[in-house]
A and B are shown apart, each in its own frame.
Chain A
Amino acid sequence: MRDQGARDFQDERDHIDFLLDDELRAFRRDVRAFLRDAVPQETRDRIDRGYAATKPEIVDFLAKLSAKGWVAPAWPAEYGGPGWTQLQRMVYSTELARNAAPSIPPFGVSMIGPVLYTFGTQAQKDKYLPGILSGEDFWCQGFSEPGSGSDLASLRTKAEDKGDHYLLNGQKIWTSKAQYADRIFLLARTDEAPRKQGGISMFVLDMDTPGIVVKPIISIDMNHSLNEVFFEDVKIPADGLVGERGKGWDYAKFLLGNERTGITNVGRCRRQVERLKRLARADLIPGVDLSKDGAFLRDLARVEADLTALEISEIRILSQGKNGPSAMTGPSVLKLASAQIQQTLAELIVSTLGHYAAGRGAEFIDAFDDLGGLPPDFVDGALNEYLFGRAVSIYGGTNQIQRDILARAALETRP
């Protein structure tokens, strides 16, 4: 049954195709043709089933993208970007997910890279940008702290100016992929200021600097992607300061505002809808034919309609650009809608598994061999995505923070 789980969408002419012009259609075909060869079947199969890509899989894929100049779609051409339009970038990120390619880690490409080429020194650009573009340097993000989550500006990690270096002490948390990272960008307090957003600076430094300790956090999917990072008397060379001292908060806002393309994960969602159709005929629940189950079909139809609206919203909002009427509310609207859809899809997938939702791992699949009822191997992995998918409405600003932002845009009253 493995080939089923890995079915791809190379030649499908779908409703998105019909929304694009000839140029974008041709671009989309090029991306698909490239992905057909660039993503090994085994990787595609694992990702399709809901597993995170491994570091070697990511490294291998990034090397192929790098050869095409496709690692950093949003970067200006002068810094090594492909010079694509917003919509090309949207098509590109959608196709990556739709074809179950490893996703490009955002920390270097989407987060610190644009900050460095916009605010960094020439030396910082020369030192850091090539490693991001080649896919060789892995970055992680040191923003959240145990006491500073949604209220990030209350952060307490401290960087003291010691002349030729800053002395860093404190702790970061939820640091995704820190265990793989070569470098970190982080926010730390350099000065006391009347506004808590003041006095915060941004730094870049190497993860092998003495005094940095990474401790794993095992998440509810029983996997390890999150970490705590401790800093004890870590010396950040003075040239690790990004831009101006005390302006870290501005750079952080700039950084988060740059995450626009790929925010919605519509490619993965579209693939999940297709997986649901496959699961519906996998007959995993004894005596139940989901293709005749009105409640299931109705749930699927509803989330599919939501997804269609989200796909159009993304095209609409991106094509308006940074000064369009939805510039302020767009990202929050897209994130809320997308979180809802991603979580609903993952939940629906689990609902199609019936009793198989109880098991986990390769042994679970094999164990059924003895019992004579072998489930398709794509059953494993669905729970990973369901469990870790609960984070979609938490990271990057929780749903509640997004709602606060939207309410501020719509209401005069300031609470």
Chain B
Amino acid sequence: MTFLEHLTPSDETGMIRESAEKWTGGISDSDVRASKGFSSTRWADMAEMGWHGLLADPDHGGLGLGPAALSLLCQAIGRARLPEPFVASSVVCVGTLTSIGQDVTALVDGSTIAAPAGFGLPCDGVSSTITASAGAGGHHLTGTLGICEAGPDTTEFLVATKRAEALYRLPRTTEGLTVRPYGAIDGRPLARLAFDCVVPAEALITSGNAARAAIRRGNALAVSALTADATGTIEKAIDLTTAYIDERNQFGQPLAAFQALRHMVADRLVELEAARSMTDLAAFAAEDAGDAGDPKQLHDRVRARICRAAQTVGQTAIQLHGGMGMTDEMAIGHYFRRLIFLQAMMGQEAGALRDRAATLAADIEMQREVVQ
């Protein structure tokens, strides 16, 4: 598939977008507030629509679609600020497991929920410090992970060991695995994981180059999904803001009559366009992972640009809501916090620029050697 084809949604992809927009359109802000981080009804609805299996093969009950469709879906999820661990379970875990031929049937039908540990979320590389050693009784996993998108309903973990050497698939009930829950800035559940467990050899689902490839796949899908989610969130934050300043009157006229405010909105539309472009680029890079060379070359730029768009749009949205923007009652603050969560999951602009700067420094050095 070429990038230009990628920009033109297929019929199936178009249908996903339509059904996503229709379904999320029926979810109100108070519905989302009431669900406090997870709604099993919504999770079941998503299963019904086939979304958990978007990336899975048809023989595992999946739709067998790719990142283009996924990207549109995640934009709709961002717009509705749904807290469910769709990216964690249905994108990163299902996508990674599918790439190595693992059974994902239960994840696809929504009866189980998985969380990636040590890769994917955050998506800026492999953050794992978990070590594994094979012994007589099985494999001994040790170490801790500070952040994992796991909630009370998470049933299994996909664990990357350090340097992406291996990938283990563990049930939550694994003895010696401690899950310490805490809440994310945007209200979804997260957890700190501590491993000191001996697991059967079958828990090791892949290792070596195959594990690295599978984890790269998971990260590429995560970059694409998080970027898309951020774009949907940015769109909605801009929509809420323009609606607010069109309606709110001060000095006898709508706030939107003031040029200083109008120009702030205009600049954020430029950010939105950049966000959309990076979303398409990230989806395409995930589509074409085999041929794109080192996707990190693109991912660092994608993460840097989308994070800045998220930050500036979020801040402007709050500013233009004035005092009301500071209240938890208004939806805008919730979108702002979702943007913060997404930036954190992408390593923030600062982290992405640091990574890209290191590559540029190496480039400059290399050219110096060529010249001398």
Contact = CB atoms under 8 A, between A and B. Distances in A.
A63 B356 CA distance: 42
A178 interface: no
Contact of B364 (A280, A298, A305): A280
B266 A304 contact: no
Given A20-B4, A309-B301, A412-B242, 19 more contacts: A291-B361, A298-B354, A301-B353, A305-B301, A308-B278, A308-B281, A313-B273, A316-B7, A316-B277, A329-B269, A329-B273, A333-B270, A337-B274, A403-B263, A404-B263, A410-B269, A411-B265, A412-B246, A414-B257
Interface in A384-415: 400, 402-407, 409-415
Looking at chain B's contact residues, the main secondary structure is: helix
Given A301-B353, A411-B256, A411-B262, A337 B273 contact: yes
B97 interface: no
| Nearest 7 Cβ contacts at the A-B interface | A407-B262, A413-B256, A403-B266, A297-B357, A312-B277, A406-B266, A19-B3
Contacts, number: 165
Given A302-B353, A319-B7, A406-B266, A281 B371 contact: yes
A312 B257 contact: no
Contact of B304 (A278, A301, A329, A333): A301
Interface of B: 2-5, 7, 238, 242, 245-246, 253-254, 256-259, 262-263, 265-267, 269-270, 273-274, 276-278, 280-281, 284, 288, 291-293, 297-298, 300-302, 304-305, 308, 352-354, 356-358, 360-361, 363-365, 367-368, 371
Contacts of B4: 19-21, 87, 315, 319
A38 interface: no
Residue from A305, A312, A413 whose CB has the most chain B CB atoms within 10 Å: A305
A410 B360 contact: no
A150 interface: no
A278 B293 CA distance: 24
Nearest to A302: B353
Nearest to B291: A18
Residue from B2, B270, B305 whose CB has the most chain A CB atoms within 10 Å: B270
Interface in A265-293: 277-278, 280-281, 290-292
B360 A297 contact: yes
A85 B3 CA distance: 16
Contacts of B267: 336, 403
Nearest to B2: A21
A410 B266 CA distance: 8
A272 to B, nearest CB: 14
A387 B154 CA distance: 59
Looking at chain A's contact residues, the main secondary structure is: helix
Contacts of B293: 18
B293 to A, nearest CB: 7
Contacts of B368: 281, 291
A336 B270 contact: yes
A326 interface: yes
Contacts of A411: 242, 245-246, 256, 262, 265
A18 B367 CA distance: 23
Nearest to A333: B273
A291 B365 contact: yes
A21 B5 CA distance: 9
Given A15-B298, A277-B363, A316 B278 contact: no
Nearest to B255: A413
A294 interface: yes
A263 interface: no
A316 B277 CA distance: 7
A304 B293 CA distance: 19
Nearest to B349: A302
A161 interface: no
Contacts of B256: 407, 411-413, 415
Nearest to A325: B276
A269 B256 CA distance: 34
A406 B268 CA distance: 10
Given A298-B357, A411-B246, A404 B274 contact: no
Given A19-B3, A333-B270, A403-B267, A308 B305 contact: yes
